[in-house]
Amino acid sequence: MSIGTLLVSMQRPRLLVLVDADEGEARVDAIVADVRGMLEVECEVVPSTMWFTQSFARCGTWESWVTDSVLGYDYNTRRIHFDGFVVCALGPVNRQIARLAIEKQRPVFHYTSLVGGEAALNQIRSDEQFALILQES
């Protein structure tokens, strides 16, 4: 199932794009642009670096931030923070977010840069599948 098919029934879905915290702003912008270009529906795409800046102080701990990123709701809109997750970097916190999202059966996709500048999004449906991605990296 494509990411667009999963998100088409949602009203302006929000995706958290899990990037490396040390990734340069230009690279993060390029990844976000790639992800937007692969979507079949209009989505709000938020890089995890921006989300961290906006929300970590409120959460206070890594564990709380991970949980809030996957399961938390916006106080004003009562909407869940993110409708899906795109894993671009496999750092420890990104892995925790992805694993919790998979466990809670939330849409999770793996972003892969391919040879020739192409990119792909593949859905991660299980923790076992995610473990294989981690082994390959």
**Residues contacting residue 80 through CB under 8 Å, at least 6 positions apart:** 71, 72, 73, 74
What backbone phi and psi angles, to 5 degrees, belong to 122?
-125, 130
Interatomic CA distance for residues 58 and 50, integer angstroms: 14
pLDDT at residue 6 greater than cutoff 60 = no
What is the reported pLDDT for 10? 59
Q: How large a percentage of the chain has pLDDT more than 70?
A: 88
Domain hosting 131: range is: 3-136
CATH number at residue 53: 3.40.50
Work out how many domains the chain is built from and give that number: 1
Q: Which residues pair with 87 in a beta bridge?
A: 18, 110
- Mean pLDDT value across the chain: 88
Q: What is the pLDDT of residue 3?
A: 58
Report angle CA 83, 88, 89 to the nearest 5 degrees: 120
Task: Report the C-alpha gap between 15 and 86 in whole angstroms.
Answer: 7
Distance of alpha carbon 85 from alpha carbon 17, whole angstroms = 6
Per-residue confidence (pLDDT) for residue 47, from 0 to 100: 97
User: pLDDT for 93-111, tens place per residue?
Assistant: 999 999 999 999 999 999 9
Bigger pLDDT: 65 or 119? Answer: 65
Chain position carrying tokens 């995610």? 130
Q: Which residue has the higher pLDDT, 100 or 129?
A: 100
- pLDDT on residue 57: 96
- At residue 66, the pLDDT reads 97
Tell me the pLDDT tens digit for each residue of 33-80.
999 988 888 889 999 999 999 999 999 999 999 999 999 999 998 999
**Is the distance from CB of 68 to CB of 55 less than 8 angstroms?**
yes
pTM for the model stands at: 0.87
- How confident is the model at residue 119, as a pLDDT? 81
